């Protein structure tokens, strides 16, 4: 980095720069955004750390997917194995240890893995009303898996006539990006009557092969260029020279999204709602696997792709104010289906392996809220029942011959059943002090059966578990003056082992095999947060700094294992070292998140952030690196806002991840990093949005202005190079 950038980063780490909740659209009152039925509308009343991204910020930023919305906020870290992906990490926890919610419904299902996930892209960013990021264990509020935090995504509301003012309203939005020749369009139409409303949203995204930067990162050497790729011509695999080594060949995909909402108000005060969502993609190439090399054929894989990633969600809701014991009531009855598949074959081997999974999730939730003179009570019940069908077959791409192969998960009946009760209470005990307390208890069962063990014989034909779960939280906010406040929060979290943890038979790399271990227990965390908030009398300057320390107990890790007394077994004709998921040792994560915001002029705002995490596994008195711990990262920027014009110039940055800090588990994907580890990087970006005439807003900008070639830690694909984008939104 140059001297100026280095100085800014050192300064931000010392005094705590951060992008705050008012960083992108000055006029938006973020503390009034409703992101969950389980928390106060005014988020400043929460003792734990929360960030919010609004629809106006999302519109202005103009990113291609929800993954980019999250990563470019500077508020959390996102890993990518391919262009069609994005795995959010919060405080060193990722995948099945971070809870994803859409409209209050869990996306985490019984096959969410601990590695890297792409499910967040199935919620289209053009349909979002807001995103709430809850930091730290939030199991008390939201249940299992919320060890590192929760990402709560809320889609746009269907507006009644008193809100929309016109019977028909909506918008159409288009976008083009040069780095991947993206062509995207979305359409929203709202029909409003006094007691009935309908919202229809559709969108289409066409992403071409992603082009990386051409200029060497001054913190490292050139890395990740694509000189060759595999093509199958007349049924024969061939390694071809890439016409442009900066184009990441075979990274393109398309996505289709649909949202339909109906709402109806009755004369008795009830509001009924129907929320239907559908998202699917074309095949998504697993880019990192397609770049793997070997000495004999050059490139290892001829094909490696995810099949269409499909998500279907239907929610029937009913709500009423003061419906039960003077409590506001909301009931959600939901069905969700998720389908995913993996398809791969090695170079020169014309037998394609196909493994497909279909998950159904049925849920009921009852959320109640009661206001008191000085406090607010949240309480309720949640029940989720999930089923899994796992299939597998192979087919010769030239002859069409088809055969059965081993499934990724047990090929019989697989299900999980979760039932939880929760309660949370906030009270303002004085003009200066507010406290919060909460608890959750529940019971989860898991059953998995193996109908056919032809391909891998096991000493058992079924796995079953029952786990009693619990968590709690206690926090306090004390304002010593109008300018200074302290926050403290103690919370616990839990994650119940799912089918992926307990029953998967998986060849992570050739020569290693992961086998089931039915003795797994839930993993648990305990986190202490301490925050300081300083602001000026005029509220134009605000500084916030949060320190946290997390202990992870009964951590589920993949390690060497004995299967039938053997450490090496034959799998698919290859001698393979045996591994299994186990509750092994303890771990800790500590770090800080700092924030600074200043209104320099009436229309000019400065904001920045800095995030740092350190994670270690503790075993037999020795420490080793914990996986998923990102290097320090953040964002620094200026925002100029007028009624018809918005301009933003900002810097995104990541620190270096040296090899010695990579986890030995393999989850950090060190094989896709340069020798010595992932170098630090920074990008300079400029964005604009201005109203060209009433209702029509033109968006344009350039990302990664210097065209720097870089790769995000743990990712298997290079980030976009210089990207010019433009879009037009017309609201009616």
Q: What is the pLDDT of residues 244-295, one digit of tens each?
A: 999 999 999 999 999 999 999 999 999 999 999 999 999 999 999 999 999 8
365: Cβ–Cβ under 8 A, 6 or more apart, which residues?
Answer: 104, 105, 331, 332, 334, 380, 381, 382, 383
Q: Residue 36 burial (CB < 10 Å; 0-12/13-18/19+)?
A: buried
Q: Residue 304 burial (CB < 10 Å; 0-12/13-18/19+)?
A: buried
pLDDT band for 677, please (50, 70, 90 cuts).
very high
Task: Give the β-pairing of 574-583 and 512-515.
Answer: parallel
β-strand partners of 391: 356
Name the percent of the chain lying above pLDDT 90: 80
Exposure string of 590-616, with b = 16+ CB inside 10 Å and e = fewer, is bbbbbbbbbbeeeeebbbbbbbbbebb
* 447 has pLDDT over 70: yes
* 222 has pLDDT over 70: yes
pLDDT at 331: 98
* 454, 411 contact by CB (below 8 A): no
| 540-564 tens-digit pLDDT | 999 999 999 999 999 888 888 888 8
pLDDT at 459: 65
How many whole angstroms separate alpha carbon 568 and alpha carbon 574?
10
pLDDT at 27: 37
pLDDT at 507: 66
Q: Residue 694 burial (CB < 10 Å; 0-12/13-18/19+)?
A: exposed
Q: Which CATH number applies to 3-666+675-731? A: 2.40.170.20
More confident residue, 636 or 452: 636
pLDDT at 502: 87
More confident residue, 44 or 413: 413
Exposure string of 520-534, with b = 16+ CB inside 10 Å and e = fewer, is bebbbbbbebebebe
The residue ranges of every structural domain in the chain are 3-666+675-731
More confident residue, 172 or 1: 172
Choice among 59-68, 94-103, 508-517, 616-625 with the minimum mean pLDDT? 508-517
* 721, 209 contact by CB (below 8 A): no
Please give the average per-residue pLDDT across 470-481, as a whole number. 96
pLDDT band for 572, please (50, 70, 90 cuts).
low
pLDDT at 4: 42
| 402-427 tens-digit pLDDT | 999 989 999 999 999 999 999 999 99
Choice among 12-21, 318-327, 333-342 with the minimum mean pLDDT? 12-21
What is the phi/psi pair of residue 549, to 5°?
A: -140, 125
Please give the average per-residue pLDDT across 395-406, as a whole number. 95
Name the percent of the chain lying above pLDDT 70: 94
Q: What is the DSSP letter of 39?
A: S
Q: Which of 127, 20, 13, 115 is nearest to 75 (CA)?
A: 20
């Amino acid at each position: 980095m140059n001297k100026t950038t280095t100085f800014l980063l050192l300064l931000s780490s010392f005094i705590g720069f951060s992008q705050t909740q008012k960083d992108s659209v000055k006029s938006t009152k973020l503390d009034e955004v409703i992101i969950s039925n389980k928390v106060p509308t005014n988020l400043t009343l929460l003792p734990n750390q929360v960030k919010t991204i609004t629809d106006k910020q999302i519109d202005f930023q103009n990113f291609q997917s929800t993954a980019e919305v999250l990563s470019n906020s500077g508020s959390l870290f996102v890993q990518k194995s391919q262009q069609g992906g994005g795995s959010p990490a919060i405080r060193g926890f990722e995948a099945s240890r971070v809870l994803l919610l859409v409209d209050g419904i869990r996306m985490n299902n019984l096959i969410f893995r601990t590695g890297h996930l792409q499910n967040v892209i199935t919620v289209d960013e053009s349909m979002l009303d807001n995103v709430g990021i809850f930091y730290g264990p939030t199991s008390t509020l939201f249940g299992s898996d919320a060890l590192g935090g929760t990402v709560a995504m809320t889609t746009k509301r269907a507006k009644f006539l008193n809100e929309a003012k016109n019977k028909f309203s909506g918008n159409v939005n288009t976008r083009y990006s040069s780095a991947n020749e993206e062509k995207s369009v979305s359409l929203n139409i709202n029909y409003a009557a006094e007691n009935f409303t309908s919202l229809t949203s559709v969108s289409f995204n066409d992403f071409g092969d992603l082009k990386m930067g051409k200029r060497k990162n001054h913190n490292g050497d050139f890395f990740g260029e694509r000189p060759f790729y595999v093509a199958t011509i007349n049924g024969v695999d061939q390694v071809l020279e890439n016409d442009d080594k900066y184009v990441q060949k075979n990274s393109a995909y398309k996505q289709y999204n649909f949202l339909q909402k109906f709402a109806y108000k009755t004369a008795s005060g009830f509001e009924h709602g129907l929320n239907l969502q559908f998202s699917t993609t074309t095949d998504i190439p697993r880019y990192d696997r397609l770049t793997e090399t070997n000495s004999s054929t050059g490139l290892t894989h001829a094909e490696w792709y995810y099949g269409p990633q499909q998500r279907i969600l239907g929610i029937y809701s009913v709500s009423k104010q003061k419906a039960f014991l003077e409590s506001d009531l909301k009931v959600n009855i939901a069905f969700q289906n998720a389908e995913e598949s993996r398809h791969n074959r090695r170079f020169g081997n014309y037998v394609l392996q196909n493994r497909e999974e279909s998950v159904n999730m049925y849920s009921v939730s009852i959320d109640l809220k009661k206001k008191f003179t000085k406090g607010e009570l949240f309480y309720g019940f949640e029940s989720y029942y999930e089923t899994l069908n796992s299939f597998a077959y192979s087919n010769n791409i030239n002859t069409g011959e088809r055969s059965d192969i081993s499934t990724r998960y047990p090929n019989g009946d697989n299900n999980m059943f979760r039932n939880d009760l929760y309660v949370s209470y906030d009270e303002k005990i004085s003009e200066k002090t507010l406290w919060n307390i909460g608890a959750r208890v529940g019971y989860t069962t898991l059953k998995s059966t193996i109908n056919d063990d032809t391909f891998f014989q096991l000493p058992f034909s079924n796995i079953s578990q029952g786990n009693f779960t619990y968590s709690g939280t206690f926090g306090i906010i004390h304002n010593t003056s109008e300018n200074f406040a302290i926050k403290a929060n103690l919370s616990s979290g839990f994650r119940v082992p799912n089918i992926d943890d307990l029953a998967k038979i998986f060849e992570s790399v050739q020569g290693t095999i992961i086998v089931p271990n039915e003795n797994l227990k839930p993993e648990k965390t305990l986190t202490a947060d301490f925050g300081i908030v300083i602001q000026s009398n005029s509220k134009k300057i605000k500084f916030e700094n949060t320190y946290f320390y997390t202990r992870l107990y009964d951590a589920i890790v993949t390690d060497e294992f004995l299967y039938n007394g053997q450490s090496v077994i034959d799998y698919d004709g290859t001698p393979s070292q045996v591994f299994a998921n186990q509750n092994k040792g303890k771990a800790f994560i500590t770090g800080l998140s700092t924030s600074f915001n200043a209104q320099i002029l009436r229309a000019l705002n400065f904001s920045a952030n800095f995030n740092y995490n350190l994670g270690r596994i503790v075993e037999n008195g020795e420490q080793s690196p914990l996986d998923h711990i990102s290097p320090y990262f953040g964002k620094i920027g200026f925002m100029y806002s007028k009624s018809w014009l918005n301009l933003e110039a900002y810097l995104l940055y990541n620190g270096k991840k040296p090899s010695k800090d990579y986890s030995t588990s393999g989850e950090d994907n060190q094989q896709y990093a340069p020798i010595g580890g992932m170098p630090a990087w920074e990008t300079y970006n400029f964005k604009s949005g201005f109203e060209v005439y009433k209702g029509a807003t033109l968006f344009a900008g350039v990302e990664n202005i210097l065209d720097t070639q870089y790769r995000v830690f743990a990712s298997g694909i290079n980030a976009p190079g210089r990207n010019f984008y433009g879009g037009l939104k017309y609201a009616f």
